[in-house]
Chain A
Amino acid sequence: RRSEKPNWDYHAEIQAFSHRVQENFALDLLKTAFVNPCYIESEEARRRQLGLDKDAVALQLQDNSGLAERGLRFARTYLAQCFEGAYPELPAKGIEALVNFLTSQELVSYVAQNLSIQDLALCRDFPAAPDVLQRTFLAVIGALLESSGPERTGIFVRDFLIPQLIGKDLFEIWEVVNPMGLLLEELTKRNISAPEPRITRQLGVRTVLPVYFVGLYCDKKILAEGPGETLLAAEEEAARVALRKLYGYTENRRPWDYSKPKQRLAAEKAISSN
């Protein structure tokens, strides 16, 4: 463990962490954010084994579960708001799938490892388990929420969690079993007639690797087309491409806006005053 090797100053490391992330933290909140409940239990067990009195056994530390819960709730609501603003067509299940993916254990523990949280977190076993890292990262978000308010925490969450979506496709994150049924629902909501699938192109029909391009036409106007190995697979793929176009999650959409929100507030004030 790095904290047991020579040259380790916990206070200095925590200060360096707050500077690295460019946020002002209340340091005692941050220190409680790094304390995990398994650490408290292991410390108390160790002290009891060493034979200390009961007063000395009880540690004065609070653990980070409260902060972690608050951080998780804030992160989920903020991410849901972001996605509702950016992709207004996306249904609630899609937004939920995206938010679950961004707060999943592997992703959050990967982000936490590259921010050196695994050195600062106090936990029982080494190397730290991914759920411990996830809880510590969410507790850091909760501590930031208490120290600096929801705006700066929102910018923090946006800067560190949303870039993990770059390069990912919607249906890699959101498992959709029946894209055709979902597409029919979406089209009935918009009062468009049911799509008619037609084969657009086909190659190598009688070989081992056929390629069929199936296009979906609504009122004889093209909606989307997708490739596939068999006709059914191609139809499903075309339905997925159509859903991507409808929800606005294509590959050539506008990239995410990471600009500072102060400009937006000033613009709003300017617009409202005029």
Chain B
Amino acid sequence: RYVRQLQRLQLLFSPTAADARGARQFVEEAAQDFARQHPDVVLYVSPHSGPGPAPVLRAEYLNGTVREELIASKTSEEIVQLATKLANQSGLDIVRIRKPFHTDNPSVQGQWHPLTNKPSILTIQGPRPQPQ
């Protein structure tokens, strides 16, 4: 079954800073809908008063990775899109994937090895004596 890899989202913003306007609108309008649509993600909203660090959306995944995304000067819809993107990701590191294909069963009928098509010793027959 599918287990969503996002464990919790923490929304840290300040109620007075100008660049956290999108975050405040998100909290007022869209946060409840988002939480209802994703019941397996715990959404924490923590406003820290006064001028503090930039507003940030911190995502924690089941394998322990914590990912922070800046939401300064973003509109409410952009924050919703960002949150759904984080919700659909897994916690693996975002590195360049070396090849876009992977199989667990590289060969169906058995991998070739130098002895596959050689007849076995038991079936090799030496030169036959000529029938006299």
Q: A20 and B3: CB pair below 8 A?
A: yes
A13 touches which of B3, B39, B42 (Cβ 8 Å): B42
Q: A203 and B62: CB pair below 8 A?
A: no
Tell me the A1-23 residues at the B interface (CB within 8 Å): 6-7, 9, 12-13, 15-17, 19-22
Does A184 sit at the interface, judged by CB under 8 A?
no
Q: Would you give the shortest CB distance from B63 to chain A, in whole angstroms?
A: 6
Does A27 sit at the interface, judged by CB under 8 A?
no
Contacts of A22 in B (CB 8 A): 1
Name B2's closest neighbour in chain A (CB-CB). Answer: A22
B120 touches which of A12, A211, A215 (Cβ 8 Å): A215
Q: B7 and A116: CB pair below 8 A?
A: yes
Contacts of A6 in B (CB 8 A): 46
A41 to B10 alpha-carbon distance, docked (Å): 33
Contacts of B39 in A (CB 8 A): 15-16, 19
Name A21's closest neighbour in chain B (CB-CB). Answer: B3
Interface string of A101-127 (1 = CB under 8 A from B): 000000000000011100100000000
Q: B63 and A114: CB pair below 8 A?
A: yes
Does A100 sit at the interface, judged by CB under 8 A?
no
Q: Would you give the shortest CB distance from B28 to chain A, in whole angstroms?
A: 20
A20 to B121 alpha-carbon distance, docked (Å): 59
Q: B121 and A12: CB pair below 8 A?
A: no
Q: How many residues of A contact B (CB 8 A)?
A: 29
Q: Would you give the shortest CB distance from A124 to chain B, in whole angstroms?
A: 21
Contacts of A73 in B (CB 8 A): none
A7 to B122 alpha-carbon distance, docked (Å): 73
Does A245 sit at the interface, judged by CB under 8 A?
no
Does A201 sit at the interface, judged by CB under 8 A?
yes
Q: A16 and B115: CB pair below 8 A?
A: no
Does A46 sit at the interface, judged by CB under 8 A?
no
Q: A116 and B118: CB pair below 8 A?
A: no
Contacts of B42 in A (CB 8 A): 9, 12-13, 16
A15 to B4 alpha-carbon distance, docked (Å): 14
Q: Would you give the shortest CB distance from A75 to chain B, in whole angstroms?
A: 17
A: residues with CB less than 8 A from B are 6-7, 9, 12-13, 15-17, 19-22, 114-116, 119, 159, 166-167, 198-203, 211, 213, 215, 252
A–B pairs, 7, beta carbons within 8 Å? A7-B8, A16-B8, A17-B40, A19-B40, A166-B104, A200-B120, A215-B120
